[in-house]
Amino acid sequence: MSTWICEGERAGRYGVGALFLIAVASLTGCLKVPGEGTSALRSVPLYGGDVVVEGPRGYCIDPTSLKRGLTGSFALLASCESLTGQVGVIVEPAVMTVSVLPARGAAQQPDAASMARALAPVEVRVAEDGDGISLVQVMQGGQEALPGGDPVHWRAGMVINGHLLGLAVYGPKGGGVSGRMGREMLRDLAEALREASPTAAVARQARPPRAKRKGVLGALFPVSN
């Protein structure tokens, strides 16, 4: 059976803070943790294919978690085996999330220090900037996203084709995901996202003309999780 974890409805603004809001499903109400027997997807295109969500080997997307909207999109990944109930590649038990903001101007990769400030007053133990990804180890809150999970979890920020992405990984209490393993899992996820998504030039050619719009549109999430 799937479990729902509800967060209060809050309005976010574009930027690192908005990514974290989407990551805990605050823009749409609830985060659904997948249960056995759910169907699974290997990849999902977002924003006209600018960003293609795909997990590392052995991890699939829970289709019931998908949200597509003008102010943000969201997908949750878990092991393909746990989602489908079918024997497959054995991987570390974990839940990963991908939050994507719409392309707005020249998006810049958030630095780890900015991510830590956006999370305050929550303690951040590790903050590091890498090649194409910035990561932070967050010392509390993981159990609120994953029932029975470890409070310690990892989050990361990156940019693909002008879209700002927020990544997170949660694992069982006392498991390796809260430590260095979680950091490596987010790096693997980032690499899978880059490989699945088109290059910037291809994305620009494939993108349809944008309709003229006034001001900042409100959130639109036709798919409920």
Instruction: Specify if 146 maps to a domain.
Output: yes
Question: What is the model's pTM?
Answer: 0.78
Q: How do the pLDDT tens digits run along the chain, 225 residues long? A: 333 233 333 323 346 665 555 554 433 334 455 555 668 999 999 999 999 999 999 999 999 999 998 889 999 999 999 999 888 889 999 999 999 999 987 788 899 999 999 999 999 999 999 999 999 999 999 998 888 899 999 999 999 999 999 999 999 999 999 999 999 999 999 999 999 999 874 555 555 544 333 332 222 222 222
Instruction: Specify if 13 maps to a domain.
Output: yes
Instruction: Specify if 212 maps to a domain.
Output: no
| Nearest-angstrom CA–CA distance, 7 and 27 | 9
Instruction: Specify if 213 maps to a domain.
Output: no
CATH of the domain at 60: 3.40.1000
- Could you list the residue range(s) of the whole structural domain that residue 186 is in? 3-206
Instruction: Specify if 221 maps to a domain.
Output: no
Name 72's Cβ contacts closer than 8 Å, sequence gap at least 6.
12, 18, 22, 27, 99, 100, 101, 102, 219
Instruction: Specify if 220 maps to a domain.
Output: no
Instruction: Specify if 223 maps to a domain.
Output: no
Name the domain count of the chain. 1
Instruction: Specify if 34 maps to a domain.
Output: yes
